[in-house]
Amino acid sequence: MSVISDTYLKLHAKWSLQRTVAELLSKRWMEPAVPFIMMLGVIVFCAVAIPNYLTLDNLTDTSSQFAEFGFVVLAMTVVLVVGGIDLSVGAIFAMADFIALVLFNVYELPIGLVVILVLLSGGLLGAINGFLIGYLKLGAFLTTLVTLIIIRATFDLTAPTFAIDIATSYNESAAWEFLGEGTLWGIPANVCILMVIAVIGHALLSRSRPGWHIAAIGSNRKAARHAGIPINRTIFWTYVLSGMLCSLGGLMYAARLNSSASNTGDGLEVMALTAAVLGGVSLAGGKGSVGRALIGATTILVLINGLVRLGVTGGPTFALEGLIMLVAVGIDVKWMKNKNKAISKIYVVPALLDLGELPDATENSDSIYAQNDALTNAEPIGLGKVDGPEDVILDRQGRIYTGTREGWIMRLSGENFEDVEVFARIGGRPLGLAFDRDENLLVCVGGMGVYGVRPDGEVFKVTDETNRTRWKIADDSRLRLADDLDIAPDGKIYFSEATTRYEMHSWAMDGLEGRGNGRIICHDPATGQTRTLIRNLMFPNGICLAHDGQSIFFALTWICQIKRYWIAGPKKGTVETVIENLPGNPDNINRSSDGNYWLAMTGMRTPAYDLAMRMPGFRTRMVKRVPPDEWLYSNINNGSVIKFTAEGEVLASYWDKSAENHPAITSMREHRGYLYLGGLMNNRIGRIPLPDADPTWDSSDSYWGPKA
Amino acid sequence: MTARWLEMAMDVVFPDRETHAIPMMDGPLRPNSALDECPVLAELTQPDDLTFTDDGALLTSSGTGVFATDGKAVAQFDGPVTAIASLAGGRLAACVDGIGVVLSDGRRLEQVNGKPLHCATAILEGADNVLYIAQGSAKHAEADWVRDLMEKNASGRIIRWDLDTDRSETIIDGLAYPYGLALDHDRRSLLFTESWAHTLSKLPLDVDPGRGLREVLIPNMPGYPARIATAPDGGYWMCLFAMRTEMLEFVLEEDDYRNEMMATIDPAYWVRPTLRADRHFLEPLQGGGFRVLGIIKPWAPPRSYGLVVRLDEDYEVVASLHSRADGRRHGITGIAVNNGLVVAAVKGDDKVITIQEEGRP
């Protein structure tokens, strides 16, 4: 392999564009972000391509039109969110324009009354739609198509009879003028009104009960019905609202132009629909917001205006509009459907991980790791009664505690541990265990955080979050996979979070990725604060406080290393490597009675696995093309336990050569002359006698001294 | 990589085209544990090929020898015996890697068409004192079969040896590890399995050699076929010595990985099919093979597997006997039929077992 590609692969191990994209895509704010960027693009394009585009006059003119159009897009949006469509928006708009002009110019009604009557008429037209669609359950598309035709025809019939009256009227009103051409702090009045309505609409749609009902019906009508939402009524009122918003737009139009033409509001429904969909309002219903509607409205209006000013009119504009609509709808339909699929396709980003030459651990080799039978005949405890005892710990009374797959802490007691009881029900996946000074059992719970169980079985939360990593797209403040913990003499709890990218049930995927996704975190019960100490670790797993209390040892599972982090003394805050290139994946670490440390190896590296770890492309394709049950892992059907010194010298290894009783050994705990074994996927706890060990030593004494 | 893209494009353009994906194990291939329940006829170290003599005695090749069911050696050779057949007149033909074909009357065939005859995987007596011999690979010895698979070779051939004229010739070449030979019921054509191509084919015997008029009978099997035997009551018995898995097919496509693996890793620990999975800690492990609550699931992706299938006269699978991932009767390489008795050599479990006998289904 060339030096350049080697360097690239190593850099890729630290940082990946693909991962950034995957994390970006899973952000909710990315959905409106794309339309927003598109809007900015269109504005920049027009500003550059059209001379004098950014002058105040032009902006005021465009934004006045924007207010009218914005109302119509809002009207379209609310019915799209409820899962319908309103094709009659343009006709209602025209009708409202006409009614407003007649009331004001011909009947010379006061402006306040005109506004109310116009809104009422818009609401009435919307109510016709709403009644037909909400109560009679006629299809939204056909119904509004029919009302479009009828309202349009009525408009065409009646408008000419008043045309001359309107044109020759000289009714004047300051309020009317203000509505049409006035400005507030330089902003057109109608835009101000739109903004006020938009804020109210946003609150209504996203923060109020009716708004949630609308979105719920649009997302899943049947589920909404089962939840007791009044579907018919809500749909009815949504169309009424739509009609009123349209009529408001028509009113603005009337005030601004003071005239009515036969083509008023023509084709407005298609333009509004395009704008809404372009802004990210889903045609399938349930998804959309006022903000998105306005983003879409701006984009379309600026684009069409820009084209007109560039001299493109009529046919080509319509064709372009249709084309944009087609693309927007296509993206809407395909993207919404496949987004999660796309994210999951690119979420796993394997990196190069060169583990070094595999140490010989075969039987009959003279390696210290050589395979043997020391654990094969371990005495089974709780056989068939514990489901996946990841970690085991014993209290001062010699009772065993272990966390199981069900989310329980089991307690095994009695002469031969025949009394098996559920000590506490926490939920999640209990992993590492430790007793604190007050004999509370602290537990790392995968999927939840760090919890504690008092001696009477009461469960309490210790911490479930830490400080968020700066400059990281994905929010990693919640604990996803707290793995193991230990407690310093000052009461501080040091724990590992194996990965921030995967859940408990998909931990093995993190191994396929082979990246530093984990961290070491410290929680101080005195202040209640949780702080991340070390980041970007490759599956930090077991944690153990050194006998002198000055440092913690931690295991890095995928990279097969043991490291040491100094929490006190002259080297405080530094990390050093204790053991490199283990023949297997290290898991939990615990103290041994002779002043050394036990380490469980949950799985053994295989040559084929090591090779795959050196070939990230191979693993990427494997994840895509091979079903998960066939992916390559390190051999977790075999495991072993080793003992090492604080300096990193390996003293002994213990194997179950048959690999039938103790595969995937995830933990071990020495207690009064015995070594107890746990396994993540096993159905038993095992124990073997340690003839050379101190038969009085137990870990509670070792940590907290003999009980007073 | 280009091939991948082409493949994807083809998938779009011709979604219904014939592909060589691993077929489902359903219908008559539905997995069971029948092989694990079959009675043991003999215990021998790595029994490979089986043959019945004229008087009904069963001979088994194992290592460098040929043995009777009571474990007594019938013959010993200077190399591994890779196939045997008992011939008319009480003679025995044995294929010995490193030598060729050796008959019990002393005659030998060491090369054909100028190429040495090693890795002979099957031998069969046809009509008129003619022997048919399958040579698995021209590049590797039989013991290195996995290398031949991983190199994706197709260098095997089938040879005809006329004992009367002592003429020998290649009748078909370029085969992907032919492993089993049987005569069709009409005795006018030869059936042969090709392991790496996962096929069963038929070759008419009454045309000139080299014409290549082969007909593929089963185009796509879920495993690697080994020997096949003609059943006197119609149809055929065939054994498959290992299964294809998605991971294996994937590695066969990943040239970089496979080449690196072959160059640097002990073959015992490759991603590969095997006759007996030792569950050694250096063997690769796949997700479905995790031991959970003390149990390895029968559906775990099989590194080794036992499978014997019954074919009817139309070469359709009608029944099958399995030994799954949690079983032991894996790596079945030999099968022989004598009247109602069907026996199989379980090379991966050091046993010869009875598949079927008269009075027992």
Residue A13 has a pLDDT of 63
**Nearest by CB: B286 against A388, A618, A630:** A630
Q: Whole-angstrom distance between the N-terminal and C-terminal Cα of chain A?
A: 63
For tokens 């204790």, the residue is A578
Tell me the pLDDT band of A4, cut-offs 50, 70 and 90: low
Residue A669 has pLDDT above 50, yes or no: yes
Residue A108 has a pLDDT of 78
Residue B360 has a pLDDT of 56
Residue A1 has a pLDDT of 43
How far is A73 from A283, CA to CA, in rounded Å?
13
Phi, psi of A165 (to 5 degrees): -55, -45
**Measured CA distances, B258 to A512, B224, B252 (Å):** 18, 19, 7
For tokens 């999927």, the residue is A447
Residue A313 has pLDDT above 80, yes or no: no
Q: Strand, coil or helix: what is A453?
A: strand
Q: At CA A320, angle to CA A317 and CA A323, rounded to 5?
A: 155
Tell me which chain A residues have a C-beta less than 8 angstroms from the C-beta of B271: 608, 632
Among A494, A492, A597, A599, smallest CA distance to A547 is for A597
pLDDT digits (tens, 9 = 90+) for B45-67: 999 999 999 889 999 999 999 99
Residue B208 has pLDDT above 90, yes or no: no
Mean pLDDT value across residues B271-280: 92
Tell me which chain B residues have a C-beta less than 8 angstroms from the C-beta of A681: 290-293
- Binary contact (A628, B287; C-beta < 8 A): yes
Least confident span in A5-9, A37-41, A272-276, A317-321: A5-9
Give the closest-approach CA distance of A216 to chain B in angstroms.
Answer: 37
pTM: 0.81
Tell me the pLDDT band of B274, cut-offs 50, 70 and 90: very high
Which stretch of DSSP H or E encloses residue A45?
helix A30-49
Which residue of chain A comes nearest to B291, CA vs CA?
Answer: A637
Of A264 and B270, more confident? B270
Give the closest-approach CA distance of B260 to chain A in angstroms.
Answer: 8
**Nearest by CB: B285 against A388, A627, A636:** A636
- Binary contact (A625, B256; C-beta < 8 A): no
Mean pLDDT value across residues B9-26: 77
**Measured CA distances, B17 to A578, B7, B11, B20, B21 (Å):** 57, 11, 8, 10, 11
Residue B359 has pLDDT above 70, yes or no: no
Q: Exposed (0-12), middle (13-18) or buried (19+): which is B4, by Cβ within 10 Å?
A: exposed
Which fold, A379-466+476-702? Neuraminidase (2.120.10)
Residue A464 has a pLDDT of 93
- What is the identity of the amino acid at A491? G
Contact B214, B172 (CB under 8 A): yes
Q: Which two tokens stand for residue A16?
A: 């990946």
Residues 6 or more apart whose CB falls under 8 angstroms from that of A593 comprise: A670, A690, A693, A694, A697, A702
Residues pairing with B235 in the sheet: none
Q: Which two tokens stand for residue B51?
A: 């043959």
Residues 6 or more apart whose CB falls under 8 angstroms from that of B143 comprise: B80, B97
Residue A265 has pLDDT above 60, yes or no: yes
Tell me the pLDDT band of A74, cut-offs 50, 70 and 90: very high
Residue A61 has pLDDT above 80, yes or no: no
Handedness of CA A125, A131, A136, A138 (dihedral sign): positive
Residue B72 has pLDDT above 70, yes or no: yes
Contact B228, B180 (CB under 8 A): yes
A163: number of CA atoms within 13 Å, CB side? 10
Residue A35 has a pLDDT of 82
Mean pLDDT value across residues B279-293: 91
DSSP A619-668: HHHHHHHS-GGG-EE-BTTS-EEEEE-TT--EEEEEE-TT-SS-SSEEEE
How far is B43 from B55, CA to CA, in rounded Å?
22
Where does A50-139 have alpha helices with state H?
Answer: 56-81, 89-101, 111-130
Residues pairing with A577 in the sheet: A563
Residue A8 has a pLDDT of 67
Residue A307 has a pLDDT of 81
Tell me which chain A residues have a C-beta less than 8 angstroms from the C-beta of B247: 622, 626, 630-632
**Nearest by CB: B286 against A361, A611, A629:** A629
- Binary contact (B246, A626; C-beta < 8 A): yes
Q: Return the percent helix, strand and coil in chain A, to nearest 5.
A: 45, 20, 35
- Binary contact (A630, B284; C-beta < 8 A): no
Residue A163 has pLDDT above 80, yes or no: no
Of B127 and A423, more confident? A423
Tell me which chain A residues have a C-beta less than 8 angstroms from the C-beta of B284: 606, 608-609, 632, 635
- Binary contact (A625, B287; C-beta < 8 A): no
Which residue of chain A comes nearest to B255, CA vs CA?
Answer: A618
pLDDT digits (tens, 9 = 90+) for B116-126: 999 999 999 99
Percent of chain A with pLDDT over 70: 97
Asked if A370 reaches chain B (Cβ–Cβ under 8 Å), the answer is no
pLDDT digits (tens, 9 = 90+) for B183-198: 998 888 999 999 999 9
Q: Which two tokens stand for residue B339?
A: 């009247």
Q: Strand, coil or helix: what is A696?
A: coil
Q: Whole-angstrom distance between the N-terminal and C-terminal Cα of chain B?
A: 50
- Binary contact (A632, B257; C-beta < 8 A): no
Residue B319 has pLDDT above 90, yes or no: yes
The highest-level CATH class for domain A8-338 is mainly alpha
Least confident span in A105-119, A286-300, B131-145: A105-119
Average of per-residue pLDDT values in chain A? 88
Contact B100, B108 (CB under 8 A): yes
The length of chain B in residues reads 361
- Binary contact (B293, A609; C-beta < 8 A): no
**Measured CA distances, A349 to A7, A14, A17, A385, B236 (Å):** 17, 11, 10, 38, 49
Residue B2 has a pLDDT of 59
The two beta strands, A482-487 and A459-463, are: unpaired
DSSP B238-307: EEEEEE--HHHHHHHH-HHHHHHHHHHS-GGGSSS--S-----TTS-EEGGG-EETTEE-TTSPPSS-EE
Tell me the pLDDT band of A708, cut-offs 50, 70 and 90: low
Give me the residue spans of the domains in chain A.
8-338, 379-466+476-702
**Measured CA distances, A685 to A380, A413, A541, A643 (Å):** 6, 13, 20, 19
CATH architecture of the domain with residue range B40-245+307-356: 6 Propeller (2.120)
pLDDT digits (tens, 9 = 90+) for B217-243: 999 999 999 999 999 888 999 999 999
Mean pLDDT value across residues A333-359: 82
- What is the identity of the amino acid at A295? I
How far is A679 from A663, CA to CA, in rounded Å?
7
- Binary contact (B287, A629; C-beta < 8 A): yes
Where does B71-134 have alpha helices with state H?
Answer: none
Tell me which chain A residues have a C-beta less than 8 angstroms from the C-beta of B301: 629-630
**Measured CA distances, A74 to A31, A216, A249, B241 (Å):** 18, 18, 10, 68
Residue A288 has pLDDT above 60, yes or no: yes
Which stretch of DSSP H or E encloses residue B109?
strand B108-109
Contact A442, A487 (CB under 8 A): yes
Residues of B with CB under 8 A from a CB of A: 245-247, 250, 254, 256-257, 260-261, 264-266, 269-271, 279, 281-294, 296, 300-301
- Residue A279 burial (CB count, 10 A): 28
Rg (CA), chain B: 20
Mean pLDDT value across residues A15-34: 79
Residue A9 has a pLDDT of 60
Residue A240 has pLDDT above 90, yes or no: yes
How far is A396 from A698, CA to CA, in rounded Å?
8
Among A199, A186, A82, smallest CA distance to A134 is for A82
Mean pLDDT value across residues A488-493: 94
- Binary contact (A607, B281; C-beta < 8 A): no
How far is A71 from A245, CA to CA, in rounded Å?
6
How far is A442 from A451, CA to CA, in rounded Å?
6
Residue ranges of A 618-677 with Cβ closer than 8 A to chain B: 618, 621-622, 625-638, 659-661, 663-664
How many CB pairs lie under 8 A apart between chains A and B?
113
Contact A428, A407 (CB under 8 A): yes
Of A190 and B18, more confident? A190
Mean pLDDT value across residues A530-539: 93
User: What single-letter DSSP state applies at residue B328?
Assistant: S
Contact B42, B70 (CB under 8 A): yes
Among A450, A459, A381, A457, smallest CA distance to A422 is for A457
Residue A14 has pLDDT above 70, yes or no: no
Find the Cα–Cα–Cα–Cα dihedral A419, A423, A428, A434, rounded to 10°. -100
How far is A392 from A432, CA to CA, in rounded Å?
8
